[in-house]
Amino acid sequence: MSELLAVAVAALGGSERPGQARMAEAVREAIETDEHVAVQAGTGTGKSLAYLVPAIRHAVAAETTVVVSTATIALQRQLVDRDLPRLAEALTGPLGRAPTFAILKGRRNYLCRYKLTTGASDDDEPALFDPRSVSSLGRQVARLHEWAEETTTGDRDELVPGVSELAWRQVSVSARECLGAGRCPSGGECFAEQAREDAGHVDVVVTNHALLAIDAMESFPLLPEHDVIVVDEAHDLVDRVTSVATGQLSEALVAAAARRAGRACDQEVADRLAEAGEGLGLIMADTEPARLDHLSEALEGAVTAVRDAAHACVTAIGPDRKDDADASNVRKLALAALGEVHDDAVRMLAAVQPPIAERREVVWLSSPPSQAPSLHVAPMEVGGLLRERLFGDRTVVLTSATLTLGGAFDHLARQWGLPVHRKDHPGQTGHPDPRDRPEAVADGESAPASAEPVWRGLDVGSPFDYPRSGILYVARHLPPPGRDGLADAYLTEITELIQAAGGRTLALFSSMRAAKQAAEALRERIEHPLLCQGDDSTGQLVREFAADERTCLFGTLSLWQGVDVPGPALQLVIVDRIPFPRPDDPLASARQRAVAARGGNGFMSVAASHAALLLAQGAGRLLRTTSDRGVVAVLDPRLATARYGGFLRATLPPFWATTDPEVARAALRRLDAAAERVPEAAR
């Protein structure tokens, strides 16, 4: 292993790092012992090589496939475009043949040739009443037709610039809507089928958490047979799986299903579904957006009417006409849409039946500004699903820069459905203590102790010297953040910090409103260029931010994962407040209540864990190489004063800490002066 790793590191132009070697060894051991391993590997560890090398070695030796799953497209691209091609070349000699790899995503990510040739659907009719939508949509669909002539993969992510979701839906299908390669007239040249075919014959399949989740949830396999899965960016796994498992009902969704049904069954039956959808829309408009522990009589009646009308449509749709592909397509599209509407209505009605303490799903109504209201249903936990379908009969390697919260793997392990170690701490390995069974099991889910997955947690640290390279400054003197936007004291603090840093700032806010308020105020107070999320695409903003050292970038949580800017363009990260979930967040509040009902600490398990993960990710933007220096400034004084502050600080990298604003500003001034002295060419 160490020889292979040395070859790989040399090929990718890096240097050997002890954490990387430890991680590679742990992954190798997990594969060989059929156990699972969670590895926290700080920025700069070179963790992708640390799992790819043992994974490839295993795939080649055992003639099997290893699946690598990522949360973000950026990492997927890094693996497929950079790491894997170079690795394959470097390892060809030592392994005796060139390792192979392919990328595989859900069907909706590929252009559907059949839909492209049979014309755009009118599922989104309402949008077509808007002439601006028509022309813009028309232009985008025309571009997609041109692109279809030249693309060899049909992969949406390769279309640059991209198109709107509405346009993409005109040329793509979900797995439910696909006719199936055997019956589809375009089946022989189908991009999605080609990708699956390619993935079936390679050593490494790179995919995303969404497909991993669908593969775990469906009864038929989407991924090729494999015995090892590497989940990179594993801190995001639960959220991605939850969002795949979330169902939705809106008037527009029901109307689209009714339109499709109208082409496949008696129009009168389809019209009844459309009416039921309108009824639901009216009742939702009269309901406050919130978590719904109970459905009002009217709402329950409306959801029941939708369920029954969708069922009536399904019954009214005749048998499949195998000799007529177009009729078969119409039928399939109708059944797919009706199935979703029906199943989601059934889930919503069932979710609110059991006593609150026994609920497994959460229902809520959302009504974002300028959008129609919609009902949602999501699982309270996905740990049971993951334990059964992901950790069941293969080795799983979970890795990320942040997997320990408050210094322990427990929090994320619980969410993944893994048994919790009684005395787990970074670096500690071992088998679960049978006295400490996971909450899901304690709640009565089936999983005898003997069948519990065996795993170990390992923190391989980071090559960065955090106490010497970074300062954590907590503005203890500021008032706790309020509900009505940023107080003036916060704006003054941000101004003084940015002035001391000479720009070079990434400021992360807990809401778009706060980011915009700060950007507006600061543009009048500082002389440096200031970009705000929403001014342009995030990718473009990050490029501009990196290109000009003195530029500042303001944004929200969604920026936290996308910024990888080494060097003096980023020497100050500001976080305005501890990113707890909003108190009215339906899923977080229901999960918190469920933990409390089991005798646990709901706030620490859910809200503080959520905040810790985001804070660590945000702070992780500061140091990207061993030569980077800077300050993470958290303006929320509760990080220093509240009881949970210690837990949150223990999740952050071990920066040198201060609450003295002058110390922070002086450090920033020194860093600014140092960056000025070093000419760019010398860096």
Residues that bind ligand SF4 (CB under 6 A): 107, 112-115, 173, 178-179, 181, 184, 186-187, 190, 192-193
Q: What are the DSSP E strand ranges found in 283-421? A: 290-291, 361-366, 374-379, 395-400
Nearer to ligand SF4, 230 or 333 (CB): 333
Question: Min. distance of Cβ 215 from ligand SF4 in angstroms?
Answer: 17
Give the CB-side neighbour count of residue 34, counting CA atoms within 13 A. Answer: 7
Measured CA to CA, the distance from residue 173 to residue 163 in angstroms comes to 16
Question: Min. distance of Cβ 140 from ligand SF4 in angstroms?
Answer: 19
Measured CA to CA, the distance from residue 203 to residue 206 in angstroms comes to 10
Q: Which phi and psi (to 5°) does residue 379 adopt? A: -70, 145
Nearer to ligand SF4, 336 or 595 (CB): 336
Nearer to ligand SF4, 326 or 536 (CB): 326
Question: Min. distance of Cβ 102 from ligand SF4 in angstroms?
Answer: 17
Nearer to ligand SF4, 126 or 180 (CB): 180
For the chain, the maximum distance between any two Cα atoms, rounded to a whole number of angstroms, is 79
Nearer to ligand SF4, 107 or 226 (CB): 107
Nearer to ligand SF4, 181 or 663 (CB): 181
Question: Min. distance of Cβ 329 from ligand SF4 in angstroms?
Answer: 7
Measured CA to CA, the distance from residue 242 to residue 378 in angstroms comes to 7
Q: Which phi and psi (to 5°) does residue 662 adopt? A: -70, -35
| C-beta of residue 681 within 8 angstroms of C-beta of residue 485 | no
Measured CA to CA, the distance from residue 607 to residue 605 in angstroms comes to 6
Question: Min. distance of Cβ 173 from ligand SF4 in angstroms?
Answer: 5
DSSP letter, residue 421:
P
First to last CA, the chain: 34
List Cα–Cα distances, 319 to 52, 265, 327, 544, in angstroms. Answer: 48, 11, 10, 57
Query: Which structure tokens are listed for 207?
Result: 């995919």
Find all residues with CB under 8 Å of 505, minimum gap 6, and list them: 497, 498, 552, 553, 570, 571, 572, 573, 574
Measured CA to CA, the distance from residue 376 to residue 590 in angstroms comes to 14
Question: Min. distance of Cβ 341 from ligand SF4 in angstroms?
Answer: 21
Measured CA to CA, the distance from residue 662 to residue 566 in angstroms comes to 25
Query: Which structure tokens are listed for 268?
Result: 């009168």
Question: Min. distance of Cβ 108 from ligand SF4 in angstroms?
Answer: 9
Nearer to ligand SF4, 71 or 195 (CB): 195
Question: Min. distance of Cβ 604 from ligand SF4 in angstroms?
Answer: 46
Nearer to ligand SF4, 263 or 311 (CB): 263
Question: Min. distance of Cβ 122 from ligand SF4 in angstroms?
Answer: 18
Nearer to ligand SF4, 193 or 493 (CB): 193
Which residues are paired to 470 by β-bridges? 630
Nearer to ligand SF4, 106 or 637 (CB): 106
| C-beta of residue 69 within 8 angstroms of C-beta of residue 229 | yes
Question: Min. distance of Cβ 244 from ligand SF4 in angstroms?
Answer: 19
